């Protein structure tokens, strides 16, 4: 299989199902941003962090590929003429969302309560986590806009929402694990 096909040289790309759309189409922006997020998660996973977080990030990366496939499928061509779904992959489930929530709950049990917003930073690994959180929020905004135009599996959108929360809690937990200072945002008074 060749990497280059030359079929996108005029600014279009094919969705699963064969429909061609402009490369700037909201559907392409959506799954492209999920792909960008997945790359940032790989960067976090490559850091010196607990193996449990690495394993969880790999699981999340797998789920993001599923979401990307969902977003890359033309809804009008999602079902084959035989009645079978075009995508032969597991769906995002309530159990996948619950896994994120359970992981957050466990991490939060080891953290002091939040009393202020937290400024991103303190350690390179923590910063990577905050960048991933922001990209996740962008992916969620784009997917939400796409969902208004062409609805898709609602659990996929919920998963992205919960994932950004997970990444925020992971950033806080990594700050603690790495003994990095967590800087509270305290608005300065005008002088």
Hey, what are 112's tokens?
A: 């002091």
pLDDT at 22: 63
Partners of 16 in the beta sheet? 73
Q: How far, in Å, CA of 176 to CA of 171, rounded? A: 9
Full set of structural domains in the chain with CATH: 19-78+92-111+122-180 (1.20.1200.10)
Q: Where are the beta strands (DSSP E) in 36-176?
A: 117-118
**Residue 145: in which H helix or E strand, if any?**
helix 124-149
Phi then psi dihedrals of residue 9, to 5 deg: -65, -20
Q: Which residues of 79-105 are buried (b: 16+ CB within 10 A; e: fewer)?
A: eeeeeeeebeeeebeeebbebbeebbe
Per-residue pLDDT of the chain in tens (191 residues, 90 and over written 9):
677 777 677 787 776 777 777 678 899 999 999 999 999 999 999 999 999 999 999 999 999 999 999 999 887 766 666 767 767 778 999 999 999 999 999 999 999 888 888 889 999 999 999 999 999 999 999 999 999 999 999 999 999 999 999 999 999 999 999 999 888 888 888 76
Q: What would the DSSP string read from start to end of 68-107?
A: HHHHTB-GGGSB-TTS-BS--SPPP-HHHHHHHHHHHHHH
Hey, what are 109's tokens?
A: 């049990």
* Cα 16 off chain centre by: 20
pLDDT at 142: 98
Q: pLDDT (tens digit, 9 = 90+) per residue, 76-113?
A: 766 666 767 767 778 999 999 999 999 999 999 999 88
106: CB partners within 8 A, 6+ apart: none
Phi then psi dihedrals of residue 165, to 5 deg: -65, -45
């Amino acid at each position: 299989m060749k990497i280059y096909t030359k079929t996108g040289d005029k600014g279009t790309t094919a969705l699963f199902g064969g429909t061609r759309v402009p490369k700037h189409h909201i559907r392409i922006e959506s799954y492209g941003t999920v792909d960008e997020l997945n790359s940032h998660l790989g960067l976090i996973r490559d850091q010196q962090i607990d193996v449990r977080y690495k394993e969880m990030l790999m699981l999340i990366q797998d789920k993001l590929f599923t979401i990307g496939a969902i977003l890359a499928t033309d809804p009008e061509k999602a079902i084959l003429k035989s009645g079978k779904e075009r995508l032969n992959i597991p769906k995002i489930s309530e159990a996948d969302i619950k896994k994120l929530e359970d992981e957050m709950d466990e991490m939060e049990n080891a953290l002091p309560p939040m009393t202020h917003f937290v400024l991103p930073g303190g350690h390179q690994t923590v910063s990577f986590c905050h960048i991933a959180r922001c990209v996740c929020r962008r992916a969620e905004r784009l997917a939400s806009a796409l969902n208004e135009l062409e609805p898709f599996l609602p659990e996929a959108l919920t998963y992205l929402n919960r994932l950004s929360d997970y990444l925020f809690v992971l950033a806080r937990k990594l700050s603690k694990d790495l003994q990095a200072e967590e800087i509270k945002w305290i608005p300065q008074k005008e002088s």
